[in-house]
Amino acid sequence: MGTKMCRVLGLAIAVLFLATPLASAACNKDDLKALLSFNSSFPPHTLHNWINAEDCCSWAGIHCDDGTGRVTSLFFSNNPDPIDLAGPMPPSVGDLSELVGISFENLPNLVGPLPRQLSKLKKLKYISIYSTNLSGPIPSFLSQLPALEHLLMTSSRFSGSIPPSLGSLAKLRYVYLSGNGLTGSIPPSLFSRLDRSVLAILSLGQNKLAGAVPRSFASVAFGSIVLSENRLTGDASFLFGKSKPVSIIYLGQNKLSFDLTDVEYPVENLLSLDISHNEIHGSISEQIKEATKLSNLDMSYNKFCTEESRAEDRLVILHRGASCTTNVCVELLFPHARNRT
């Protein structure tokens, strides 16, 4: 049985190898048309190695599927191999119908909103836009991309609110939108269709998001949740829980206010916790001592205020300012934590 299996596998591999040179010999004509249009959207010489039209799969920034020869991903970055795309993202990207991933990174001269034609890319799984001057909204037409799993649009100039329709994407599990000018509140629909056994990552730090953290997030299996440096208010205690898989929780620099006393920490998985610079009150449960992997903890600048300071077991030592609005308990809570970082 083993030998038969090997032979079948061997055959499949041989077919793959045979298919490769044939497929990559000619550029698919629909892909080529879209790429030529893309090329002509930028100033002359931008894509200087895009010369031999027969072999578009070898052009800088283009990746093709070895089997089909179709263009499956675009990767542009002005670093380390400089391709500095200047101008808007060309609508012709939407004509590369087999695209699975697009990356536009470190491109300060890439400007303007995302073209609506991106909504035609029904196989698109990964969008990665990092450090650009792209602007405009996080488009609601992204919800027309049923395969989308990974949406990263960070350190750019996106504004407006996060479209609730993103919650209709059942495969979307990684959402990184930090470092933009996003406003409005966080839509409760986000991750609502994601399988509960799948870990989600949400990163919305450094925006201007306001309102409450959605209560629906209590049942999302976050691996990491970063909401720091916004204007969020109210309760966030439901993000915690003893048996949650979450390892990173960053909620610092908001206006969150809730009682931390009965919060149970996800002690099995917790690596890093920052709830500093909020208006959180109550006390810190001893249960946090069970978080043996925790190496970064910041709870400073909140409203923790207890009558007794328990210096003897170093559990909670609060620096009590006159108004109890600032406290520095963190370093002392885990004296070993500082040395490890």
180-239: contacts with ligand NAG (CB under 6 A)? none
Choice from 2, 21, 44, 335 touching ligand NAG (CB under 6 A): 44
Q: Give me the least distance between CB of 208 and ligand NAG, in Å please.
A: 17
Question: What are the backbone dihedrals phi and psi of residue 133, each rounded to the nearest 5 degrees, phi first?
Answer: -110, 25
Three-state DSSP state, 248: strand
**How many residues touch ligand NAG (CB under 6 A)?**
14
Residues 6+ apart with CB under 8 A from 211: 184, 185, 186, 232, 233, 234
Among 155, 168, 306, 309, binds ligand NAG (CB under 6 A): 155
Strands 71-77 and 62-64: antiparallel
User: Contact 258/233 with Cβ under 8 angstroms?
Assistant: no
108 binds ligand NAG (CB under 6 A): yes
Which one, 111 or 204, has the nearer CB to ligand NAG?
111
* C-alpha angle 319-323-325 in degrees, rounded to nearest 5: 65
Q: What is the CA radius of gyration of the chain?
A: 25
The residue (of 15 and 51) whose beta carbon lies closer to ligand NAG is 51
Q: Which is nearer to ligand NAG, 39 or 103 (CB)?
A: 39
State which residue, 56 or 190, has the beta carbon closest to ligand NAG: 56
Residue of 4, 45, 336, 340 that binds ligand NAG (CB under 6 A): 45
Write down the least CB distance from residue 46 to ligand NAG, Å. 6
Minimal CB distance to ligand NAG: which residue? 108
Whole-number Cα distances in Å, 116 to 177, 244, 296 = 19, 38, 42
Give the CA-trace dihedral at 159, 162, 168, 169, to 10 degrees.
Answer: 60
User: Of 11, 14, 51, 311, which one interacts with ligand NAG (CB under 6 A)?
Assistant: 51
Torsion of CA 123, 126, 132, 136, to 10 degrees: 60
80 upstream amide cis, omega within 30 of 0: yes
Bridge pairing between strands 255-256 and 281-282: unpaired
For ligand NAG, which residue of 24, 73, 78, 131 counts as binding (CB under 6 A)? 131
Contact between 192 and 167 under an 8 Å Cβ cutoff? The reply is yes
Specify the residue, 39 or 58, whose C-beta has the smaller distance to ligand NAG. 39
Cα→Cα distances 99→64, 114, 166, 171, 248, Å: 9, 16, 20, 17, 32
Reduced 3-state DSSP string for 164-192: HHHHHCCCCCEEECCCCEECCCCCCCCCC
Q: How far is the CB of 49 from ligand NAG (least distance, A)?
A: 9
CB of 107 to ligand NAG, least distance (A): 7
Q: Minimal distance in Å, beta carbon 279 to ligand NAG? A: 32
Looking only at residues 18 through 37 of this chain, which bind ligand NAG when binding is defined by CB under 6 A?
Answer: 36
Q: Interface with ligand NAG includes 133 (CB under 6 A)?
A: yes
Cβ proximity to ligand NAG: between 56 and 194 the closer is 56
Stretch touching ligand NAG by CB under 6 A, among 18-26, 45-53, 139-147, 219-227: 45-53
Residues found near ligand NAG in the complex (CB under 6 A): 36, 39-40, 44-45, 47, 50-51, 53, 108, 131-133, 155
